[in-house]
Amino acid sequence: MEHDVTREVFLNFSPAQKISFYVAAFLATAIFLWGAWLKIRKYRRGRPDARFGHLLRRVFKGVALSFSNVTVGKRRPGIGVTHALIMWGFTALFIGTAILTVEEDILGIFAPQWQFFHGSFYLWYSVILDVMGAAFLVGLAIMAVRRAFVRPFALNYARVDVEEPPRARKGFVRGDWIFLGLLFVVGVTGYLVEAFRIAGTGFPEFEVWSPVGWWLAGVFDGAGWGGERALSAHMATWWIHGVLALAFVAYIPYSKAIHIVADLVNLAFKDPDAGRRLPAPSQNGSDHLGVRDLTDFTWKQLLDFDACTKCGRCHEVCPARAGGAPLSPRDLILDLRQHADASLAFLAPGHENRPDIRYGDPSRPVAGGVIHSETLWACTTCLACVDICPVGIEHVPTIVGMRRHLVEEGDLDPNLQTALMALGKQGNSFGKSARQRARWTKELDFKVKDARKEPVEYLWFVGDFASFDEGVKETTRRVARVFHAAGLDFGILYEGERNAGNDVRRVGEEGLFEMLAEHNIEQLEGAQFKKIVTTDPHSLNTLRNEYPEFGARYEVVHYTELLVDLIESGALQVKNPVVRRVTYHDPCYLARYNGVTEAPRRLLELLGASLVEMPRHGMNSFCCGAGGGRVWMDDSDMKERPSENRIREAVALEGVTDFVVACPKDMSMFSAAVKATGNEAVLAVRDVIELLVEATGLEESEEEAATVVATDDDPVAGEPV
């Protein structure tokens, strides 16, 4: 009796019909495999990328991230849940189809005695697939409504870098709807097949375990579509469903559907340090540096391009795009994908109509050709795109790779070129003599130790802006006074320090970065210290994450982390709490790059300030616009500088009087932005050290605040000449 509780896969099929189906299945599989091979061949054309260590762990990571939907649901839980309905529904239906294949085409031929598609197994199979299929269709319907009626900004495909014909990207929109529509129709026809089978076979009692199909069968039977009529409709819908399902299989490698496979692999091989630790360039036997040709990309970067689903999250968060610069991380990846497909695989229907680029033209370089140099130089390397991408795309290393070629070709902003020359000659972007690096200490009433000459507990790596920028140097002196008042044993490298090289490397000047790093490491090796403290998140990032590749490993902390320890240990006493409403800006290189978000907030809490968060904060902070060498470039053509955008966001907060920063570049950028936006009267830009000095009562004496006039050739007191 248990064997009667089942269904026949090829109900009322003639032998010829069964053969026809298997021929169609063979053709669909062959088309799929050919497309998959062309994709794999494309990836094999990329440079090697040693990511195969701990392979099993990577596979588990990719599967866990994909099936948990945590990356899709990041900051968008509703989309995460909806995508989970689609993904888990699709997975269940795929597994259900695979079970039928095993039952019918393997066991049915080679081991009939082992067939299992009956009885309790069939009942549970029926109810699970019916429920999961309904979830699948609900998810697809929500996504369709969102795309058709809500129309979020992220799904607006209008370019930001070039003027284009209105219909240039209609292929993208059409491809999205084909993908969504094909899945929906396959799901709906599957239920129709089930309903007509139940109605045509007289409503077997056990089929109540197929709740959706049972209900639909009752509707059709009530409408006069029962018995033989239902069986005829079953045959027709079976073929429609079967052909569409096979068409989807064949369509996968040639469409957006490739992300079903590519995303899992891409997440498995994503570098958790992508962007924060850039790889050294590999010439790979070529006559050029950086990425000039498609084959200069690694296989992982070529896979990145296929993984993109055009979700637009990177497009939304990009500060360059928000400021009107010609950069959209999404469009950059899509341009590279289309060029790579046209050159190394195939350019499938639905691509962008872009005659000015001529995808696949072998005479057109990638950097400065397919991707305009203005687009590449607009990037602030803030890592927001990498952080938000749900499929593991590593935009920043790709952009820096192309910048390296632009630097080699001399295709760069004149201001940037001047800064790089100064960095090469003097070790700082201000073009000042190294002897002036510690001149800010002359206005202190105590001598800062020279860590090259005497041991210290903390070596303070000060950085260029904190040492040379006139608007920031007083903040640097406040930090020194606080350290001194707390009894901290600290010192600096004086003229031995040079720019750490973080932004130099992200500009693409790898040779200069290595020169700066080697010099600083030599100086650090000659000093005696336990930890490095820095007020500069840019320096912190490269000292912590990139110097180790040169064999130099240090414990590096941000000054906000150290200040929290000093207050909590009692070395600093809060006497006058700061009873004001303040907001805090998370520096990209502190929060997103290095995960330091709690220490600054804990510090503000200890100081008594009332923190009001901006909508974009923590790991979701909005860039000031200085990173990636942008601080050295002309930004006069931007519609709105990112720093000005950020100030407007802060001004909109009710009752906030202080815009608190914890980065010298932020101090410079936002001080200018608050003036440019006319908000000086309502919002004061302050380094967190100012609030600490106020709260602890460490007021400067007249002697400490007195201005010391010095010529450029005056050495710092106690400094070797």
Count CB neighbours of 247 within 10 A: 14
Question: For residue 348, how many C-alpha atoms fall within 13 Å in the half-sphere facing its CB?
Answer: 20
- C-alpha span between 314 and 328 (Å, rounded): 8
Q: To the nearest whole percent, how much of the chain has pLDDT over 70? A: 96
Helices (H) and strands (E) in the chain, counts: 28, 9
Question: What is the mean pLDDT of the segment spanning 477-505?
Answer: 98
Strand partners, 582: 611, 658
Please tell me what DSSP assigns to residue 281.
Answer: P
- Closest of 547, 555, 496, 498 to residue 531, by C-alpha: 555
Is 478 strand, coil or helix? helix
pLDDT tens digits, 512-538: 999 999 999 999 999 999 999 999 999
pLDDT tops 70 at residue 43:
yes
pLDDT tops 60 at residue 577:
yes
Is 201 strand, coil or helix? coil
pLDDT tens digits, 69-119: 999 999 999 999 999 999 999 999 999 999 999 999 999 899 999 999 999
Residue listed under structure tokens 């040639």: 254
Question: What is the mean pLDDT of the segment spanning 144-158?
Answer: 95
Of 133-142, 151-160, 345-354, the one with minimum mean pLDDT is 345-354
- C-alpha span between 563 and 549 (Å, rounded): 29
CB 407 within 8 A of CB 507: yes
Per the structure block, which two tokens stand in for 242?
A: 């079967």
pLDDT tens digits, 234-246: 999 999 999 999 9
CA distances 614 to 287, 514, 532, Å, are 48, 37, 30
Query: pLDDT grade, residue 356 (50/70/90)?
Result: confident
Question: What is the mean pLDDT of the segment spanning 51-72?
Answer: 94
With a CB cutoff of 8 Å and minimum separation 6, the contacts of 684 are: 657, 658, 659, 674
Amino acid at 682: V
- C-alpha span between 172 and 315 (Å, rounded): 16
- C-alpha span between 707 and 705 (Å, rounded): 6
CB 307 within 8 A of CB 300: no
Query: pLDDT grade, residue 666 (50/70/90)?
Result: very high
CA max distance for the chain: 103
Residue listed under structure tokens 């590999």: 282
Q: To the nearest whole percent, how much of the chain has pLDDT over 90? A: 89
CB 662 within 8 A of CB 463: no
With a CB cutoff of 8 Å and minimum separation 6, the contacts of 294 are: 45, 46, 302, 339, 340, 343, 344, 366
The pLDDT value recorded for residue 713 is 42
Residue listed under structure tokens 């906030």: 656
The pLDDT value recorded for residue 639 is 93
The pLDDT value recorded for residue 702 is 34
Q: Where are the beta strands (DSSP E) in 541-650?
A: 556-558, 581-584, 610-611
462 or 162, greater pLDDT: 462
- Closest of 356, 419, 400 to residue 165, by C-alpha: 356
Every domain of the chain with CATH number 1.10.1060 lies at 45-74+255-269+295-411
CB 211 within 8 A of CB 128: no
The pLDDT value recorded for residue 721 is 27
Question: What is the mean pLDDT of the segment spanning 683-711?
Answer: 73
Helix (H) or strand (E) holding 491: strand 490-492
The pLDDT value recorded for residue 720 is 33
pLDDT tops 80 at residue 289:
yes
Residues in the chain: 721
Classify domain 2-44+75-254 at the CATH class level. Answer: mainly alpha
Strand partners, 460: 533
The pLDDT value recorded for residue 168 is 74
Instruction: Classify strands 490-492 and 449-450 as parallel, antiparallel or unpaired.
Output: parallel
Question: What is the mean pLDDT of the segment spanning 364-381?
Answer: 95
pLDDT tops 60 at residue 718:
no
Query: pLDDT grade, residue 704 (50/70/90)?
Result: very low
pLDDT tens digits, 584-630: 999 999 999 999 999 999 999 999 999 999 999 999 999 999 999 99
- C-alpha span between 575 and 697 (Å, rounded): 6
> Which phi and psi (to 5°) does residue 409 adopt?
-85, -10
Mean pLDDT of the chain: 93
> Which phi and psi (to 5°) does residue 345 adopt?
-140, -95
Per the structure block, which two tokens stand in for 704?
A: 């400490």
352 or 138, greater pLDDT: 138
> Which phi and psi (to 5°) does residue 366 adopt?
-70, -55
358 or 449, greater pLDDT: 449
CB 307 within 8 A of CB 431: no
- Closest of 545, 533, 463 to residue 500, by C-alpha: 463
The pLDDT value recorded for residue 169 is 86
Query: pLDDT grade, residue 4 (50/70/90)?
Result: confident
Please tell me what DSSP assigns to residue 177.
Answer: H
The pLDDT value recorded for residue 622 is 97
Query: pLDDT grade, residue 255 (50/70/90)?
Result: very high
Question: What is the mean pLDDT of the segment spanning 307-335?
Answer: 96
Q: What is the CATH number of domain 45-74+255-269+295-411?
A: 1.10.1060
> Which phi and psi (to 5°) does residue 303 adopt?
-70, -40
CB 388 within 8 A of CB 274: no
- C-alpha span between 41 and 34 (Å, rounded): 10
- C-alpha span between 533 and 641 (Å, rounded): 30
Amino acid at 7: R
- C-alpha span between 308 and 442 (Å, rounded): 54
Count CB neighbours of 675 within 10 A: 13
- C-alpha span between 524 and 451 (Å, rounded): 9
Of 2-16, 22-36, 258-272, 696-710, the one with minimum mean pLDDT is 696-710
- pTM, two decimals, is 0.94
Query: pLDDT grade, residue 311 (50/70/90)?
Result: very high
- C-alpha span between 381 and 403 (Å, rounded): 12
- 3-state secondary structure labels for all residues of 13-72: CCHHHHHHHHHHHHHHHHHHHHHHHHHHHHHHCCECCCCCCCHHHHHHHHHHHHHHCCCC
CB 289 within 8 A of CB 91: no
The pLDDT value recorded for residue 285 is 65
The pLDDT value recorded for residue 358 is 82
- 3-state secondary structure labels for all residues of 378-409: CCCCCCHHHHHCCCCCCHHHHHHHHHHHHHHH
Every domain of the chain with CATH number 1.20.950 lies at 2-44+75-254
- Closest of 288, 341, 333 to residue 313, by C-alpha: 333
Which ranges of 102-118 would DSSP assign to H, the alpha helix?
A: 108-110
